[in-house]
Each structure stands twice: as structure tokens, then as C-alpha cells.
């Protein structure tokens, strides 16, 4: 009986030890599972935090040095051009009579056959539309950086206008219509007939249109913005074509204007663009936990 009782006690002890071991393992498993769940929750909260930083960060930022580097030279060039225009006279009859179409390169020569006040007027209206388009972009609900956007627009137009004015008053290229025999002599003699290079209408049209497309792309990078750029380019190019049909500019004037306007828009937006790579990297790190 005594040996049987001892066996029962040993068996009972073994059962209790086994039960205790199971409880410990279950506890550790539960604790590990709970820890994993908490870790996942913390990672999820961390990712939400990173994404909120990314979404709340401004697209553009202002800096005194950057603004001064753009505005100051533009004002100096513009001021110089303004006073240069005041000192320039009209074309003389002798100058007009000595104009020879054969002195023009073969690419630009065809522009001398055109003259259309109507095309010039339509180009004015289309230019106004291009210049206003970046301001209209602010009607979008997601575009809230009004101070930054308006300063970028102003600087882009100021830079484009300064480069255009300086070029016109320095190069003094005679417009295509001055070579056209069907154009009245008084129009050919005007001071304005000396400002062919480069096309200010085309430059400002491209500045406004490309600036609109670039800012839209910066605010909505997740969208397919090919047609935004295509529409902007087509609209500004139409302005250039109308200037050609009006006899106001040679092809090279228009091409140069397109390059200058586009360059100004891309340059000004790029120097104000906020870098987001750091925040994207934070999110990538978050996934590694």
C-alpha cells in the first residue's frame, strides 16, 4: 500500500509538472504573440506618422538668398532695357531700303512673306490665357501654398521679361515684316520694328503654360500628367506660330523664346522645390522593423 501511495504521488507530481510546463510555454507563446501584435501596431502607427509628414510637407519653400539671386539680376536687366529703349530711335528710310531678303538664312526667310494684324491680335489673347493659367491653378483645393506659388509665378515672369527685354534692346534684329513690300512704310519705320529677337510673346507664353504644367505635376505627382504638358506645349506653340504668321518674328526668334520661357519656368520651380526623399526613406526604414 505504501509503495502504491508513493507511485500515486510520483504520478501526481509528474502530471502537475507537465501541466505547469504547458502553462509556462503557453504563457511565453501568448506573451510572444502579444509582443508581435504590439510591435505591428507600433510599426503601423509609425508608418502613419511618416506618411502624414510626407503629405503635410510643403511642395515649395522660400529662401531669401534664392529670391534675391533671381529678383535682383532680373530688375537690373529690366531697368537697363527700359532706359535703352528710351534712347533708341526709329528705323531710317535708308536702312529699310537696304534690307535684302537674301541676307536672311534659309530657315528664317519664309517669315518675310507674312503679315497679319489679325494673327497678332489673336496671339495677344492667347498669351493672356497662358499668363493667367498658373494663377487659375490655385483654385484647386490641394494647392494651398499661395505665397510660394505667387512668388514663383512673379519670379518666372520677371526673369523671362528681363531676358527678353535685354535681348531685344541689345541685338536689335529687324522684324520680318520690314522686308515685306506690302507693309506700309510707316509701320516699317517704327521703333518696335527693331525688336525681333527674341519673341517675347512666345517666351512668356511658354513660361506661363509650362509653369502651370510643372506646378500641377509637383502638386499631383501620382497622376499621369503627360497630357497636361502636351496641352501646355501646344497652347504656347500656337502663340509662336501666330507670331510667325503675323510677320512679327522669324523661326529662330520663336524657338529661342520657347527655350527661354521653358527654361525660366523649370529653373524657378526647381530651386524652390522641397526635397521629399528623406521622408520617403523614413517610410522605407519603417517597413524593415
* CA pair distance 287, 289, nearest whole angstrom: 6
- Determine the pLDDT at residue 65: 94
Per-residue pLDDT at 203: 98
Mean pLDDT (the chain, rounded): 83
- pLDDT, position 82: 86
Quick check: 248 and 199 in contact, CB under 8 A?
A: yes
Q: Check whether 37 has a pLDDT greater than 90.
A: no
**Cα separations in angstroms, 286 against 32, 38, 57:** 21, 15, 18
Q: Which of 15-24, 133-142, 280-289 has the lowest mean pLDDT?
A: 280-289
* 170 pLDDT higher than 80: yes
Q: pLDDT at position 144, please?
A: 73
DSSP bridge pairs for 10:
none
Fold of 60-273: Vanadium-containing Chloroperoxidase; domain 1 (1.20.144)
Q: How far apart are CA 128 and CA 208, in angstroms?
A: 9
259 pLDDT exceeds 90? Answer: yes
Range in 18-22, 132-136, 200-204, 238-242 the model is least confident about: 18-22
Indicate the pLDDT class of residue 279, thresholds 50, 70 and 90. very low
User: What tens digit of pLDDT does each residue of 51-101 get?
Assistant: 444 444 689 999 999 999 999 999 999 999 988 887 788 889 999 999 999
Tell whether the model's pLDDT for residue 45 goes beyond 60.
no
Cα distances (angstroms) measured from residue 98 to each of 111, 185, 211, 250: 18, 13, 42, 19
Given this model, what pLDDT does residue 85 score? 80
The pLDDT, as a whole number, for residue 272 is: 96
pLDDT band (50, 70, 90) for residue 288: very low
pLDDT in tens, 128-142: 999 999 999 888 766
Q: What is the pLDDT, as a whole number, of residue 89? A: 83
The whole-number pLDDT of residue 35 equals: 56
Q: Are 196 and 254 in contact (CB under 8 A)?
A: no
Which set of grid coordinates corresponds to residue 259?
527655350
Query: What was the pLDDT predicted at 285?
Result: 33
What are the sequence ranges of the domains in the chain?
A: 1-57+275-289, 60-273
3-state SS string for the chain: CHHHHHHHHHHHHHHHHHHHHHHHHHHHHHHHHHHHHHHHHHHHHHHHHHHHHHHHCCCECCCHHHHHHHHHHHHHHHHHHHHHHHCCCCCCHHHHHCCCHHHCCCCCHHHHHCCCHHHHHHHHHHHHHHHHHHHHHHHCCCCCCHHHHHHHHHHHHHHHHHHHHHHHHHHCCCCHHHHCCCCCHHHHHCHHHHCCCCCHHHHHHHHHHHHHHHHHHHHCCCCCCHHHHHHHHHHHHHHHHHHHHCCCCCHHHHHHHHHHHHHHHHHHHHHHECCCHHHHHHHHHHCCC
pTM for the full predicted model: 0.76
pLDDT in tens, 99-155: 999 999 999 999 999 999 999 999 999 999 999 999 998 887 666 788 999 999 999
Amino acid at each position: 500500500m505504501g509503495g502504491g501511495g508513493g507511485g500515486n504521488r510520483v504520478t501526481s507530481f509528474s502530471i502537475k509538472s507537465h501541466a505547469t510546463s504547458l502553462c509556462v510555454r503557453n504563457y511565453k507563446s501568448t506573451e510572444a504573440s502579444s509582443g508581435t501584435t504590439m510591435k505591428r501596431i507600433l510599426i503601423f502607427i509609425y508608418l502613419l506618422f511618416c506618411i502624414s509628414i510626407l503629405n503635410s510637407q510643403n511642395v515649395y519653400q522660400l529662401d531669401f538668398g534664392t529670391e534675391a539671386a533671381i529678383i535682383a539680376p532680373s530688375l537690373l536687366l529690366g531697368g537697363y532695357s527700359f532706359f535703352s529703349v528710351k534712347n533708341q530711335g526709329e528705323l531710317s528710310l535708308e536702312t529699310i531700303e537696304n534690307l535684302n531678303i537674301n541676307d536672311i538664312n534659309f530657315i528664317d526667310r519664309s517669315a518675310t512673306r507674312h503679315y497679319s494684324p489679325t494673327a497678332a491680335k489673336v496671339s495677344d489673347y492667347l498669351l493672356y490665357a497662358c499668363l493667367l493659367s498658373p494663377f487659375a491653378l490655385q483654385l484647386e483645393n490641394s494647392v494651398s501654398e499661395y505665397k510660394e506659388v505667387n512668388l514663383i509665378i512673379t519670379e518666372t515672369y520677371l526673369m523671362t521679361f528681363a531676358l527678353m527685354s535685354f535681348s531685344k534692346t541689345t541685338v536689335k534684329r529687324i522684324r520680318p515684316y520690314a522686308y515685306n513690300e506690302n507693309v506700309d512704310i510707316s509701320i516699317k519705320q517704327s521703333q518696335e520694328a527693331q525688336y525681333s529677337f527674341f519673341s517675347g510673346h512666345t517666351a512668356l507664353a511658354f513660361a506661363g503654360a509650362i509653369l502651370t504644367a510643372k506646378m500641377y505635376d509637383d502638386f499631383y505627382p501620382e497622376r499621369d500628367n503627360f497630357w497636361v504638358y502636351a496641352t501646355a506645349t501646344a497652347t504656347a506653340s500656337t502663340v509662336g506660330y501666330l507670331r510667325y504668321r503675323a510677320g512679327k518674328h522669324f523661326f529662330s526668334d520663336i524657338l529661342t523664346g520657347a527655350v527661354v520661357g521653358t527654361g525660366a519656368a523649370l529653373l524657378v520651380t526647381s530651386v524652390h522645390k522641397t526635397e521629399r526623399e528623406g521622408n520617403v526613406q523614413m517610410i522605407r526604414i519603417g517597413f524593415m522593423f
